[in-house]
């Protein structure tokens, strides 16, 4: 059984030297209890340290998404769909993700081949800020986009990028500040 109300919480920075796997179960009394089932401890290798760090980052991302989705503000169309669904299923609890799942699409009789998925995804309205960010990214030079890729997608530390490019870390920092300034202009 899963506790749907549990969002999770981040591990404090000073306790990230190890990684603990937890399981949360409902007791016979109906209370939720969490216990450690496994703990990964550093063994002196860089790989283990990277693994521990990566697992904590993945947890952080999951918690961020849980909080973001739990507090989702519904637009009028989503509210109408929610109300309709609740009337049709009075014995079940509404799950926002239901409307986004492929099961929901299948239930509506839409064939799930690549073209129909693309057609459905084309109809999704993109957030205005996402569009502004895309526009701003297109205005950057290829070298600036490459730096953004390295820092935010490949998660390469700025010090490592500086070493690779044979420049000082402050040079990389200054480049990023220039990029951020250019991106901010698109939001003014």
Q: How confident is the prediction for the chain on average, in pLDDT?
A: 75
Q: Where are the domains of the chain?
A: 13-70, 78-110, 128-185
Task: Report whether pLDDT(22) > 70.
Answer: yes
Where would I find the beta strands (DSSP E) of the chain? 19-26, 32-40
Q: Which residue has the tokens 């299923």?
A: 89
Gap between the Cα atoms of 59 and 57, Å rounded: 5
Q: Are 160 and 107 in contact (CB under 8 A)?
A: no
Which residues, at least 6 apart from 162, have a Cβ–Cβ distance to it below 8 Å? 168, 169, 171, 172
Condensed to tens digits (0 to 9), the pLDDT of residues 30-75 reads: 888 888 888 888 888 888 888 888 888 888 777 777 666 665 666 7
Give pLDDT, residue 99. Answer: 46
pLDDT, tens digit, 9 for 90 and up, residues 112-138: 555 545 554 444 444 566 777 778 888
Overall CATH class of domain 128-185: mainly alpha
Model-level pTM?
Answer: 0.35
What confidence category does residue 18 fall into, taking pLDDT thresholds of 50, 70 and 90?
Answer: confident
Give how far the C-alpha of residue 166 lies from the chain's centroid of Cα atoms, to the nearest Å.
33
In angstroms, the Cα distances linking 157 to 7, 15, 52, 137, 148 are 29, 22, 17, 21, 11
Tens of pLDDT, residues 156-180: 899 999 999 999 999 999 999 998 8
What pLDDT score does 122 carry?
Answer: 46
DSSP state of 39: E
Check residue 163 and give its pLDDT: 94
Res. 90: pLDDT tops 70: yes
């Amino acid at each position: 059984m899963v506790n749907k109300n549990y969002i999770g919480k981040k591990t404090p920075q000073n306790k990230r030297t190890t990684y603990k796997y937890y399981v949360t179960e409902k007791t016979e009394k109906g209370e939720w209890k969490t216990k450690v089932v496994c703990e990964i401890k550093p063994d002196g290798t860089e790989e283990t340290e990277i693994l521990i760090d990566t697992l904590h980052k993945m947890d952080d991302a999951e918690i961020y998404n849980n909080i973001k989705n739990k507090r989702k503000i519904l637009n009028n169309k989503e509210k109408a769909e929610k109300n309709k669904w609740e009337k049709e299923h009075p014995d079940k609890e509404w799950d926002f993700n239901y409307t986004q799942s492929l099961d929901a699409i299948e239930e509506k009789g839409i064939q799930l081949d690549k073209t129909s998925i693309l057609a459905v995804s084309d109809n999704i309205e993109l957030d205005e800020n996402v569009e502004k960010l895309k526009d701003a990214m297109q205005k950057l030079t290829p070298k600036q986009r490459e730096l953004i890729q390295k820092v935010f997608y490949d998660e390469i530390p700025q010090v490592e990028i500086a070493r690779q490019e044979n420049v000082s870390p402050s040079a990389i920092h200054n480049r990023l500040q220039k990029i951020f300034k250019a991106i901010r202009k698109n939001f003014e």
